[in-house]
Amino acid sequence: MADSNMHSIPYTQFSMEMRSGKVIKIDDGFTNLLGYTDEDVANGLVFKQFVPSIEYDEIISELREQFIAKRYACYQHQVVSKTGETLEIVSFFTIQNKLLNGHRVLEISIADITNIMK
């Protein structure tokens, strides 16, 4: 695979409540990529904290429209780590067939493409 065009890309998967944007579950990749920990999640980490340039209400409206036709959506955008570093990412959103406290749950996978874009 030395001559392959395949390259490993840092990624993570996490869950959040669709309506509120509250992050409810992260993996180790989330902490490695963005610096947020399980303690931050327990303290109420929300999507807007690391994606401040996106109007959350607008993105949720767009996701709801897309989810009518399909159960997923994919976007390229920026996130800001806990230390203030801006990363260029690709996000893949999947709506789950479960409710948590009356809220739809989204599973989100993100891949860091910052170094690929340079």
- The answer on pLDDT for 80 being more than 80 is yes
First-to-last C-alpha distance (Å) of the chain = 23
Q: Which CATH number fits domain 11-117: 3.40.640.10, 3.30.450.20, 3.30.499.10, 2.20.25.90?
A: 3.30.450.20
pLDDT at 8: 87
| Residue-wise pLDDT tens digits, 12-68 | 999 999 888 899 999 999 999 999 999 999 999 999 999 877 777 777 778 878 887
More confident of the two residues 69 and 16: 16
Cα dihedral 81→53→90→39 (10° resolution): 40
DSSP 22: B
- The answer on pLDDT for 99 being more than 80 is no
pTM confidence score: 0.84
Helix (H) or strand (E) holding 85: none
pLDDT at 5: 73
List beta partners, residue 47.
none
